[in-house]
Amino acid sequence: MLKGEIFINQVKQRITIQSVERQPEDQITITVDRNDLPEAVRMLYYDMGGWLSTMIPNDERQLNGNFALYYVLSMEGGKMTAEDEVAQDEKCWITVRALVPAADPTFPSVTCKVPAAVWYEREAFDLFGLRAIGLPDPRRLVLADDWPANLHPLRKDAMDYRYRPDPVAHQDEPDYEFMHPKGSGGVVDVPLGPLHITSDEPGHFRLYCDGDTIIDADFRLFYQHRGMEKLAENRMNYDQMGYLAERVCGICGYAHAISCIEAAERAIGLEIPLRAQAMRVICLEIERLHSHLLNIGLACEVTGNVNAFMHIFRIREFSMELAQFVTGGRKTYGNVVMGGLRRDMSGVEIKKSLDLLKIIEKQLKEVWEAVMDDSAQVGRWKGVGILDPKVARDFSPVGPNVRGSGFKRDSRYDHPYDFFDKIEFNVAVEHGCDVFSREMVRYRELLESISIIRQCFEMMPGGQTIISPQTMIKPGAYALGNDEAPRGENMHWIMHGNAQKVYRWRCRAATYNNWPSLRYQFRGNTIADAALIVCSLDPCYSCTERVTVVDVKSHKSKVLTHQDLKRYSQTLKNSPLKNM
C-alpha cells in the first residue's frame, strides 16, 4: 500500500474525493469540493493525527479558470500520548485542495473546525480576495489598515507590485480594532495568529490586565511586509530565489534557503549528491547552535542575569567560527543552489571543525550547569508562560515551543530529509509546558546538534557537492520543501511556471505557526514576565517598541517601551500599573 492510502480511504468514507495526485511519494494532494473543505481538514487533523503545516492560496485562473486553496497537513499522529503516533513508514504530507470559482471567491471557513487555520484564512482574503465565510476573526492581517479594499496584491492581475495607496490624513486613517475582554473578568475567546517571519517589523501589543496580572492580550503585526513572494514570481531563477529566501531571517536564513530550493528540487524529482546532503545538514545544525545559544543567552539577560548571557555568547562565537570552516564565512549564507552547494570542504577544515566541536561541547555543559545551579534564574523560568497541551494541539505550534509541552514533533524525525535518515539522534521533549521546559529543550538540542554534526563529518561521503539539473521543469508541477529550523518546522511550497521561473512561492516560517498560542501563554502571568514569555517563543522580529497596558477595572492605559519591559522583568518589584 502506498503512503497515505490509509488516510485517504478514511476520508473517502465521508467525503467525495474528486482526484488524488502525488508529487514526491510522501506528498499527496486530494481535491474536494469547496463545501467539503472544512470537514476534510477536520477529519485529517483531529481524527487521524494531522497538524496544519501551512495553507497556500493560489491564483490559478490562467491554468484552470479558478482560484485554489491548499491546506497542507503533516500526518504524524496527535501525540497527546506516547502511543498516539503514526507509524514511521506511514508518515506523509496530505494536502487538501479545493477550487474556488473566480466569479464567487468565497469558501466555508476551516477555522470553525480547526482553529490553527485562522490567520491563514485572514491572509488569503488580504492577498487574494478569497473570503472565508464564518471566519471568527475576519480582521485585516497582512495589509495596512488604509490599503484599498479591492486591491489584492498576489492576484496575477495585480501586476504593479510597486503600488502604494495615496497618503491619507491622520484623522482619516482607519484604526485597527483590537479585541477587548468581556467585562472585568472575562476574555474574548477568539484565536489570533502569526507574525509573518519574512519581515523585521514592529508590533503593537495590548495586554489587558487586572492590576499587573495579564488576563488577555491582542497584537497588531505585519507593519513592514516586504512582498518577497510577489518579487520572486516570474522575475528570478531558482538560484536567485535561494539567495532571496536567506534574507527572510537573519538567524535561520539558511534553513529557508534549503526549504525553498528543496521544494523546487522535489517538484522535478532531483536527487542531490550525498556529500551535498551531509554538508547541508551540517550547516543547518550550525545554524541551530548559534540560534539556540542566542535564545538561551537572552532568556538569561532579560531576567537580569547578564553574567550568564556573556558566557553563553562567548561560546556562541565558536559556532560562528565553525560556520567559517564549513562555508568560508561566519554565516552559512550564499552556498545553496539547485543541485547542491557552491563550496566544498577540505580535509583540514573537517579536522579543525571536529576539534572545535569538542571545545563547544565542553564549555556548553559547564555554563549550563552553572545556570542550573542558580536557583533565582531557574525560579524565574519555572511555571511561567504555560502552553497547555490542548491549546498546542489546536494551534499546531512548532519547534521548542511545542516540544516543551510534551509533543514529539520534529521535522527531522517525522519527515527526514537530506542525510537525516542515516543519522542517529534523539528528539528533545519536555513536559513542563513553561519557559524552563522550552529552554531545557534548546539545551538538549544543542548537544544533539553537536552529535549530528560530528556524525556527518565522520560519515562524510566522497564525490561532488553539485550536479547540473537535467530534468526540464514542468509548468504547473508543485511540491513542498521542509526542514527543522531552530524555531521549528519551515515550510516552502513552490509551483513551477514557464521559462524556468516560479509561478507561486509560499514561504511559511516557524514563527508564523507559533504566534497564535502566545495569547494563551500570556494569561495569568504578570507584566514582569511578558518579555520573558515572548523571548521563550524565540519570535523572529526586531523592532517591537511599545506595549499598551490596559487596566480593566480603572480603564487607564499606559504605554511601555521595550526598555520599560526589560526593566520590569529584571526588578520584579515595581508594578507597571503602580502609578496609573
CA angle at 354 for the pair 348 and 358, rounded to the nearest 5°: 145
Q: Which residues, in sequence order, are CB contacts of 462 under 8 Å at separation 6+? A: 275
Residue 317 shares a structural domain with residue 464: yes
Read off the C-alpha cell for 115: 482553529
Measure the CA–CA gap between 440 and 430, rounded to whole angstroms. Answer: 7
Residue 218 shares a structural domain with residue 261: no
543 is in an annotated binding site: yes
Residue 405 shares a structural domain with residue 333: yes
How many domains, in total, are found in the chain?
3
Residue 495 shares a structural domain with residue 563: no
Instruction: Identify the residue whose cell numbers are 548537544.
Output: 447
Residue 516 per-residue DSSP state: G
300 is in an annotated binding site: no
Domain span holding position 377:
234-508
Q: The domain that contains 70 carries what CATH number? A: 3.30.460.80
The pLDDT value recorded for residue 183 is 58
The pLDDT value recorded for residue 161 is 47
Q: Which residues, in sequence order, are CB contacts of 240 under 8 Å at separation 6+? A: none
Instruction: Identify the residue whose cell numbers are 490624513.
Output: 169
Q: Are the beta carbons of 133 and 111 closer than 8 angstroms? A: no
Residue 92 shares a structural domain with residue 199: no
Smallest Cα–Cα separation from 130: which of 145, 152, 112?
152
The pLDDT value recorded for residue 568 is 62
Residue 455 shares a structural domain with residue 500: yes
Residue 255 shares a structural domain with residue 344: yes
Helix (H/G/I), strand (E/B), else coil: 204? strand
Measure the CA–CA gap between 45 and 115, rounded to whole angstroms. Answer: 11
The pLDDT value recorded for residue 172 is 56
Residue 13 shares a structural domain with residue 136: yes
Instruction: Identify the residue whose cell numbers are 519591559.
Output: 565
Residue 185 shares a structural domain with residue 161: no
The pLDDT value recorded for residue 384 is 97
Read off the C-alpha cell for 527: 507584566
Show which of 508, 536, 559 is a domain's final residue: 508
Show which of 508, 540, 572 is a domain's final residue: 508
pLDDT tens, residue order, the chain (580 aa): 789 999 999 999 999 999 999 988 899 999 999 999 999 999 999 999 999 999 999 999 999 999 999 999 999 999 998 889 999 999 999 999 999 999 999 999 999 999 999 999 999 999 999 999 999 999 988 887 778 888 898 999 875 545 555 655 555 556 677 777 665 454 432 222 234 333 345 667 778 887 788 888 887 777 666 778 888 886 788 888 888 899 888 888 999 999 999 999 998 889 999 999 999 999 999 999 999 999 999 999 999 999 999 999 999 999 999 999 999 888 888 889 999 999 999 999 999 999 999 999 999 999 999 999 999 999 999 999 999 999 999 999 999 999 999 999 999 999 999 999 999 999 999 999 999 999 999 999 999 999 999 999 999 999 999 998 776 778 899 999 999 999 999 999 999 988 778 999 999 999 889 988 888 999 999 888 888 998 898 877 533 334 445 455 665 656 556 667 667 666 654 444 444 4
Residue 304 shares a structural domain with residue 335: yes
The pLDDT value recorded for residue 517 is 87
Show which of 508, 524, 540 is a domain's final residue: 508
Residue 351: count of CB within 10 angstroms of its CB: 12
The pLDDT value recorded for residue 120 is 96
The pLDDT value recorded for residue 203 is 67
Smallest Cα–Cα separation from 291: which of 510, 458, 498?
510
pTM summary value: 0.89
Helix (H/G/I), strand (E/B), else coil: 534? helix
Residue 209 shares a structural domain with residue 269: no
260 is in an annotated binding site: no
Residue 330 shares a structural domain with residue 477: yes
The pLDDT value recorded for residue 162 is 53
Beta strands in 9-108, from DSSP E residues, in sequence order:
17-22, 27-32, 50-60, 66-75, 92-101, 106-108
Q: The domain that contains 407 carries what CATH number? A: 1.10.645.10
Q: Which residues, in sequence order, are CB contacts of 105 under 8 Å at separation 6+? A: 67, 128, 129, 130, 131
